[in-house]
A and B are shown apart, each in its own frame.
Chain A
């Protein structure tokens, strides 16, 4: 079974608008972490934001925020005031638990969402 599901293969947004990229995850471990990475056309993977399962508040990093809904097992990325440079692939990833509880602690990635920002 997929541990990370990104159901939107492609998204379009107008410059300066906000956009939400969906991510749902599957785990029975109470301790886990969720990540979002950006991959522009040049290929590198850029870390954007992290949310721990025990974090009380939703993570924010500049224009990026993570809409963490634990009960729904979703960790959607919200990009506010989109810029042309935000056009890229976006990957959601999860690492599970602690090694002592059987978790691998190795992040697994979703298939990604392609975001295109229109001027």
Chain B
């Protein structure tokens, strides 16, 4: 157990729908990252939060949004889902913001299937 908790583990939904993925970071970690892993794109960085504030954005679609709450858990909202959004979505956490090794600890992932 990495200490990073992601729910749900699996999710099957239809095109056009909206889903929310949830992440609880490892105890003591203030930074949360979201990555998308698909067969054609590999592991792509989506967005980073640090202590409740958005700090970096990657290849995140406008249909996707995220937030980090005061208790440091984070949610990734995916709306108007398309078939191509089917992927494994990872949450990762790290201690700080931009210092040291910045080793990311990953959760087990949420596998989204859009039919």
Contact = CB atoms under 8 A, between A and B. Distances in A.
Interface of A: 33, 35, 37, 42-47, 50, 52, 91, 95, 98-99, 104-112
Contact of A44 (B42, B45, B109): B109
The interface size bin for chain B is 20 to 34
B91 to A, nearest CB: 10
A43 to B, nearest CB: 5
Contacts of A110: 42
Interface string B51-63: 0000010100000
B48 interface: yes
B58 A45 contact: no
A52 B106 contact: no
Nearest to B90: A45
B104 A105 contact: no
Contact of A108 (B2, B45, B98, B111): B45
A85 to B, nearest CB: 17
B42 A109 contact: yes
Nearest to A50: B101
A7 to B, nearest CB: 14
Contacts of B45: 106-108
